[in-house]
Chain A
């Protein structure tokens, strides 16, 4: 016999027996010109590989903020005037071991470091400050009036006398707590940065600057000082370094997946083909990004991982079909065409389901999340070609190892033997179709669900850890940050309120009175450590002009006096044209509660007092921007969760045409969603830009499991199988695929837990949890819910030709032939 029937497809061993014009148009084009197609793909791969080398890794913080939130629009409108504020590095040079900075050796090292930093690219040299810069002065009141000079005395040579003078000058400089540590064991080099490197005219390269600083750190730590560096530019530099580390994780993910795939197929040839095709898809994606004008940022770098994991799981499904056909003796080209025929449509549907999860993310008004959504969608679209088309075509040349194929076939046939007993796992899971175990499972799930909902109510918005939340709490940067916060009067969480006034009127007495009032209201908040504005400077200058007598601490209704004070004010407090004041609030932390309280006070104040003379607007400073992000993230979360559930519910309704089945698919997902939020509470993670997309991704991809299982169950139920039989069939047909998909998806992201970038680790952990947990609840809760919702009676129509109630084995087996067209997706 030349051919025999296997799930509707004839087993054809020889190409001469095969009708090349069978199959749909697409199949005929692809397979009849398969050499051409491979050549085309090869050409594309070369092209995209070249293009991919142009791909830039960027950590631009602008993309992580909600660009159309009013706070951010206000910030952008005044960004230029606020420039000097945000972008400043602080380098603390500390004495190692015992001793103080009143030491000739320390001062000499400090001078060398100060000189070296002065020459670094992008430094705004005129405004750089250290003990050695001439701008650092002491001032004292004498009988004759003011006296002053540079803090390091002229001709300083480190003699004990010089050091004594230095000590006195520092006491009079007002820099204790600012440039000099409260314990005199370190001092700060204050380095304002320009956005563009004046030497090259290009945007400041944070990575290059960060590397230079690290080299300074390494060299001078050998000379007996400790160096601590903080500032936005350093965070960016560290983030970009972290991104390069993530590349290594990709290699790890590929390696681990290769091993799993090998265990799954027991065939090197097919493992390599699956990996190769998936990587081709990833290369196309990476190559396409620079062409479309995208860069990879610490968030969107997740996409290649996800695309890779999705690609591998789909590739593995392809392998499954081809192996069985080849095992039966079908020619490899024909087997490949059969697989394409069976799975192309189903594969596209499944990938669409994934894309739904991504697409919902575009409603979030934060550029990085939008980009994540768009790049993911592109990636999934590319997988259609690399894994649904290219993969079977390559297999049509390579085939698979004969032994692996025979093994797969043997297992398949064993399942269809009359006396076949399914494996322990399947029998265990099958129990959940019985009322007793189903009830138990549902009660447990309900209990866990209620606990999770209660716990999830404590979910905080925003970043909860101190320091730079992008980096780990124990990272070098955050240790440096803790050092500087601990030894200086400094806060790393700054909320800036901007005050717009008519030009030249920014220091009007009435305006400053309002500024003071706002500051005082803010300082009543437990989360506010202190405030800073031109009003405070005016008070201090008033004291200074009256011989330092504290009783003069008042904002006098005396405009010439205030103007004189303004002339002595630091430049960050108002702009050149004197139409914008900045009011700084230094916060204890950047928790959402703290930020909300500040926003509330400022909003109420602005509502009450803003006028054409002085308009109080939010917000700048890292805390100001974070408050806007929190507001948007919180609102987006609700919309996004509703959106993704609407979308997957619709998808399930279309796929199943049964509300009962839809409920069986959706409820377990909701449990995972609540559990993920509860997990975030338990792990002290806040809802933020990084964790916001996780639920959408988890639900969008997680619904696949239920789609696989329930569609098979419905098939059998409609043909009269008992629920238990239907579920057993579903497990036999798709169980392996479900587990394999769960594992590959998790492995794709689990390596992220090791990322030096904190939010990537958070994302990795949560996604791994969502992928695994969705898989488990699909295997356990779907049958348990089905026990109450999806009994055969719900599907039995009183039509004579459809046997009902007690399905007979032969009928079921016959039906099994047809089902394989629908399964495997």
Chain B
């Protein structure tokens, strides 16, 4: 008994000293650009910002470098190996294997195995240096802006990405950043045209059409760009608020949506942008083209807005659970998967008729 007592006293003492001693030589946390994302059961319920399809597989990206993939139309998710832990904002796939994901701090990641493992191709530091080099080369007046980016370091996010093929992709982001690759990401080329054309306003989204890209962004920013991002032009500005998304519909029309329930539709050529009435003052933050010319938009308050007439009118639809949405993905069978603030939910096909 005495022995036990002694032991417990010793244990108590050692517990006290270990707390007081603390460690003087402390470990340091790796930079978020080099800290691999942690696998967590919470990832599915944490913020997700975009979703893409790689053949039969769904791949979604989000906060803390989370990338999840599902082979059963979004029922069960597995977490990918990701070398960074910044918030990821966009994902796209060129085919069933090859894709890119972009995110904060100028991160561009690539995968060759349908999203199970990812490699870092670009970060904000390298991106800024590339911009300065490009500005010097072209003797551009944007050199000063580019140099400021280098000074700021890697703190600007990419916000969207488009994959054209396994070799070609375009990433766009804050302050008019745009980079493209022609060689599968071995080299990412900055676009001074985007920086200038947007007057360094955020580019929030892009969509591809046969004639090139349509970009949507901050403060009424609607732009047209060629495939090489060599020429970026401001389109008519029907609205001074920000656009968060843009869709190019099958009939050639372009639909841009954004702040406080604003939706505009453009039928191309000389037509004007027409405002479409949507009965909400919430920002529209996600959109997808569905079968049969149907369009689904979703807002920051978790409501869906459904159109069967190519975006001329919308009615409200409800998702299974309600949170702020960031992206939508039509599924086989007619359901639409929605991702956002609290992970994944879905709009059921029966509600979309």
Interface residues of A (CB under 8 A from B): 70, 141-143, 171, 510, 513-514, 517, 520, 523-524, 546-554, 556-558, 603, 606-611, 615, 631, 635, 638-639, 642-643, 645-646
Contact = CB atoms under 8 A, between A and B. Distances in A.
Given A517-B29, A520-B38, A609-B26, A553 B87 contact: yes
17 contacts: A70-B20, A143-B241, A510-B29, A524-B40, A549-B283, A550-B47, A551-B159, A554-B105, A556-B155, A557-B154, A607-B23, A609-B28, A631-B15, A635-B8, A638-B4, A639-B9, A643-B5
A609 B29 contact: yes
A80 B260 CA distance: 44
A610 B22 contact: yes
A481 to B, nearest CB: 26
B303 to A, nearest CB: 12
Contacts of B340: 550
Nearest to A606: B22
Contacts of B324: 550
A642 B32 CA distance: 52
Nearest to A513: B29
Contact of A550 (B11, B19, B38, B49): B49
B195 interface: no
Given A607-B23, A609-B29, A639-B5, A70 B16 contact: yes
A627 B76 CA distance: 37
B242 interface: yes
A550 B285 contact: yes
Contacts of B218: 547
Contacts of A142: 241, 259-260
Contact of B259 (A141, A615, A638, A643): A141
Nearest to A646: B1
B157 interface: yes
Contacts of A615: 22
Interface of B: 1, 4-5, 8-9, 11-12, 15-16, 19-20, 22-23, 26-29, 32, 38, 40-42, 47, 49, 63-64, 86-87, 89, 104-105, 152-155, 157, 159, 202, 204, 218, 239-242, 244, 259-260, 283, 285, 300-301, 324, 326, 340-341
Most chain A beta-carbon neighbours within 10 Å: one of B19, B20, B38, B86: B19
A548 B283 contact: yes
Given A142-B260, A548-B283, A550-B285, A556 B104 contact: yes
Nearest to B87: A554
Contacts of A523: 42
Given A554-B87, A556-B155, A638 B42 contact: no
A553 B1 contact: no
B341 A554 contact: no
A546 B9 CA distance: 57
Contact of A558 (B12, B38, B152): B152
A513 B32 contact: yes
Closest 10 CB pairs of A and B: A143-B241, A554-B87, A611-B26, A551-B89, A554-B104, A608-B27, A70-B19, A558-B155, A551-B49, A556-B155
Given A524-B41, A642-B1, 4 more contacts: A520-B40, A551-B204, A609-B29, A639-B8
Contacts, number: 107
A549 B217 CA distance: 11
B240 A143 contact: yes
A143 B261 CA distance: 12
A547 B242 contact: yes
Main secondary structure of the interface of A (DSSP, over half): helix
Given A141-B283, A551-B157, A635 B12 contact: yes
Contacts of A639: 5, 8-9
Contacts of B42: 523-524
B84 to A, nearest CB: 11
Contacts of A513: 29, 32
A453 B340 CA distance: 52
B20 to A, nearest CB: 6
Contact of A553 (B12, B47, B154): B47
Contacts of A610: 22-23, 26
Residue among B87, B153, B202 with max Cβ neighbours from chain A (10 Å): B87
Contact of B63 (A141, A517, A553, A603): A553
A815 to B, nearest CB: 37
Given A143-B240, A609-B28, A642-B4, A547 B23 contact: no
Contacts of A642: 1, 4-5
Given A143-B240, A549-B204, A554 B86 contact: yes
Nearest to B39: A524
Nearest to A649: B1
A645 B23 contact: no
B16 A551 contact: no
A573 B44 CA distance: 28
Nearest to A607: B23
A549 B244 contact: yes
B12 A547 contact: no
Contacts of B105: 554, 556-557
B157 A554 contact: yes
Contact of A547 (B15, B283, B341): B283
A677 to B, nearest CB: 17
Nearest to B244: A549
Contacts of B9: 639
Interface centre among A517, A523, A556, A638 (most CB of B within 10 A): A556
A642 B301 CA distance: 61
B136 to A, nearest CB: 25
A19 to B, nearest CB: 51
A635 to B, nearest CB: 5
Given A70-B20, A142-B260, A608-B23, A520 B242 contact: no
A552 B260 CA distance: 18
Contacts of A554: 63, 86-87, 104-105, 157
A557 B153 CA distance: 8
Contacts of B26: 608-611
Nearest to B23: A607
